[in-house]
Amino acid sequence: MARDAVLITGISGNLGRTLVKRLHREVRVIGLDRRPFPGRPKDVEVHQLDIRKKKVEDIFRRGDVEALIHMAIIHDPRLPQAEHHSFNVLGTKAVLSFAAKYGVKKVIVLSSTNIYGPSPDNDNFLTEDAPLLGSQRFADIRDLIEVDMFAQQFMWKHPEVDTVILRPAHIVGPNVKNAPSNYLRLPRPWTLAGFDPMVQLIHEDDLALSMQCALKPGARGIYNIVGPGELPLSSILRELDRAPIPVPHFLAKPLLTRMWTSHLTGFPPPELDHLQFLCTVDGSKAERELGYRAERTLRETIRSVLGPNA
Amino acid sequence: MPPASRATVESTALAKFDDRPRGLFGRVRASMEKWTVKLGGPDMEARLARLIAPQNEYGVDPFGLDLEFAKAAMAPALWLYKNYFRVETHGIEKVPDGRVLLISNHSGQLPLDGAMIGCAMICEAEPPRVARAMLEKWAPTLPFVAPFFARMGQVVGTPENCRRLLAAGETITVFPEGVRGLNKTYDKSYQLQEFGLGFMRLALETGTPIVPVAVVGAEEQSPALVDLKAAAKMFGLPALPLTPTLIPFPMPVKYHLHFGAPMRFSGNPDDEDAELERKVREVKQAIQAMVDAGRVSRKSIFF
3-state secondary structure B126-164: CCCCCEEEEECCCHHHCCCHHHHHHHCCCEECCHHHHHH
pLDDT of residue B20: 63
User: Which one of B30, B58, B80 terminates a domain?
Assistant: B80
User: Which one of B29, B52, B80 terminates a domain?
Assistant: B80
pLDDT of residue B230: 83
Q: Do B68 and B145 belong together in one domain?
A: no
Q: Do B93 and B241 belong together in one domain?
A: yes
Contact call for B161 and A123, based on CB within 8 A: yes
Residue B73 near chain A (CB below 8 Å):
no
Contact call for A120 and B137, based on CB within 8 A: yes
Residue percentage of chain A with pLDDT more than 70: 99
pLDDT digits 0-9 by tens, A34-51 = 999 998 999 999 999 999
Residues 6+ apart with CB under 8 A from A107: A67, A68, A70, A96, A99, A151, A154, A161, A162, A163, A164
In a domain, A194, yes or no: no
Collapse the DSSP code of A185 into the 3-class scheme (helix H, G, I; strand E, B; otherwise coil) and give the result.
helix
Domain range for B159: 85-297
Q: Do B104 and B187 belong together in one domain?
A: yes
Q: Span A276-286, mean pLDDT? A: 96
Residue B199 near chain A (CB below 8 Å):
no
Q: Do B188 and B47 belong together in one domain?
A: no
Classify strands A221-225 and A190-192 as parallel, antiparallel or unpaired: unpaired
Bigger pLDDT: B44 vs B100: B100
Helix axis angle for B198-206 and B273-297, nearest 10°, is: 100
In a domain, A249, yes or no: no
C-alpha atoms less than 13 angstroms from C-alpha of B6 in its C-beta half-sphere: 14
Name which of A116, A119, A196, A240 to mutate to probe chain B: the one with the most chain B Cβ atoms within 10 A of its Cβ. Answer: A196
Q: Do B161 and B234 belong together in one domain?
A: yes
Identify whether the C-beta of residue A45 lies closer than 8 Å to the C-beta of residue A234: no
pLDDT digits 0-9 by tens, B251-283 = 999 999 999 999 999 999 988 999 999 999 999
Residue A33 has pLDDT above 50, yes or no: yes
In a domain, B176, yes or no: yes
Q: pLDDT tier at B19 (50, 70, 90 boundaries)?
A: low
Q: Which residue of A has its CA nearest to B160?
A: A123
Q: Span A109-124, mean pLDDT? A: 95
Exposure letters B15-31 (e unless 16+ CB within 10 A, then b): eebebbbeeeeeeebbe
Q: State how far the Cα of A176 lies from the Cα of A195, in Å rounded to an integer.
A: 26
Residue B144 near chain A (CB below 8 Å):
yes
Distance from CA of B161 to the nearest CA of A (A): 6
Distance from CA of B125 to the nearest CA of A (A): 27
Contact call for A192 and B63, based on CB within 8 A: no
In a domain, B136, yes or no: yes
Q: State how far the Cα of B71 lies from the Cα of B75, in Å rounded to an integer.
A: 7
A74 CB neighbour count, 10 Å cutoff: 17
Q: pLDDT tier at B239 (50, 70, 90 boundaries)?
A: confident
In a domain, A153, yes or no: yes
Q: Do B55 and B152 belong together in one domain?
A: no
Residue A121 has pLDDT above 60, yes or no: yes
Residue B18 near chain A (CB below 8 Å):
no
Alpha-carbon dihedral sign for residues A144, A149, A152, A158: negative
Q: Span A243-253, mean pLDDT? A: 95
In a domain, B228, yes or no: yes
Q: pLDDT tier at A1 (50, 70, 90 boundaries)?
A: low
Q: Do B187 and B278 belong together in one domain?
A: yes
Q: State how far the Cα of A198 lies from the Cα of A294, in Å rounded to an integer.
A: 18
A135 CB neighbour count, 10 Å cutoff: 18
Q: pLDDT tier at B7 (50, 70, 90 boundaries)?
A: very low
Q: State how far the Cα of A17 lies from the Cα of A219, in Å rounded to an integer.
A: 23
Collapse the DSSP code of A87 into the 3-class scheme (helix H, G, I; strand E, B; otherwise coil) and give the result.
helix
Contact call for B57 and A299, based on CB within 8 A: yes
In a domain, A47, yes or no: yes
Q: State how far the Cα of B50 lies from the Cα of A168, in Å rounded to an integer.
A: 36
In a domain, A276, yes or no: no
Helix axis angle for B159-167 and B198-206, nearest 10°, is: 30
Q: pLDDT tier at A229 (50, 70, 90 boundaries)?
A: very high
pLDDT of residue A139: 86
Q: State how far the Cα of B83 lies from the Cα of B32, in Å rounded to an integer.
A: 16
Distance from CA of B55 to the nearest CA of A (A): 10
Identify whether the C-beta of residue A177 lies closer than 8 Å to the C-beta of residue A310: no
In a domain, B302, yes or no: no
Residue A287 near chain B (CB below 8 Å):
no
Classify strands A65-70 and B210-216 as parallel, antiparallel or unpaired: unpaired
Contact call for A230 and B164, based on CB within 8 A: no
Residue A140 near chain B (CB below 8 Å):
no
List beta partners, residue A47: A32
Q: What are the strands of the beta sheet with A198-203, ordered from one edge?
A: A170-172, A198-203, A230-232
pLDDT digits 0-9 by tens, A175-184 = 899 999 999 9
Q: Do B76 and B93 belong together in one domain?
A: no
Q: pLDDT tier at B81 (50, 70, 90 boundaries)?
A: very high
Q: Do B227 and B117 belong together in one domain?
A: yes
Q: Do B48 and B99 belong together in one domain?
A: no
Domain count, chain A: 1
In a domain, A261, yes or no: no
Residue B14 has pLDDT above 60, yes or no: no
Alpha-carbon dihedral sign for residues B273, B274, B277, B279: negative
Collapse the DSSP code of A222 into the 3-class scheme (helix H, G, I; strand E, B; otherwise coil) and give the result.
strand
Could you give phi then psi for residue A76, rounded to 5 degrees? -60, 110
Distance from CA of A121 to the nearest CA of B (A): 6
Name which of B69, B154, B160 to mutate to probe chain A: the one with the most chain A Cβ atoms within 10 A of its Cβ. Answer: B160
Contact call for B137 and A298, based on CB within 8 A: no
Q: Which residue of A has its CA nearest to B17?
A: A235
Q: pLDDT tier at B15 (50, 70, 90 boundaries)?
A: very low
Query: Chain-wide mean pLDDT for chain B?
Result: 88
* B56 neighbourhood in chain A, CB within 8 Å: 228-229, 231, 298
Contact call for A198 and B137, based on CB within 8 A: no
Domain count, chain B: 2
B86 CB neighbour count, 10 Å cutoff: 16
Residue A120 has pLDDT above 80, yes or no: yes
Residue B175 has pLDDT above 70, yes or no: yes
Q: Do B250 and B101 belong together in one domain?
A: yes
Contact call for A238 and B19, based on CB within 8 A: yes
Specify the length of chain B in residues: 303
Q: pLDDT tier at A7 (50, 70, 90 boundaries)?
A: very high
Residue percentage of chain B with pLDDT more than 90: 60
Chain B segment 46-65 residues within 8 A of A by beta carbon are 56-58, 60, 62-64
Query: Chain-wide mean pLDDT for chain A?
Result: 94
In a domain, A189, yes or no: no
pLDDT digits 0-9 by tens, A157-166 = 999 999 999 9
User: Which one of B15, B46, B80 terminates a domain?
Assistant: B80
In a domain, B283, yes or no: yes
Q: State how far the Cα of A60 lies from the Cα of A97, in Å rounded to an integer.
A: 10
Collapse the DSSP code of A47 into the 3-class scheme (helix H, G, I; strand E, B; otherwise coil) and give the result.
strand
Q: State how far the Cα of A3 lies from the Cα of A105, in Å rounded to an integer.
A: 10
Q: Do B141 and B22 belong together in one domain?
A: no
Identify whether the C-beta of residue B60 lies closer than 8 Å to the C-beta of residue B66: yes
pLDDT of residue A99: 96
CATH at A79: 3.40.50.720
In a domain, A253, yes or no: no
Domain range for A115: 5-172+200-229+281-296
pLDDT digits 0-9 by tens, B124-145 = 999 999 999 988 888 899 999 9
Residue B200 near chain A (CB below 8 Å):
no
Contact call for A198 and B150, based on CB within 8 A: yes
Count of CB pairs separated by less than 8 Å, A with B: 78
Q: State how far the Cα of A47 lies from the Cα of A35, in Å rounded to an integer.
A: 9
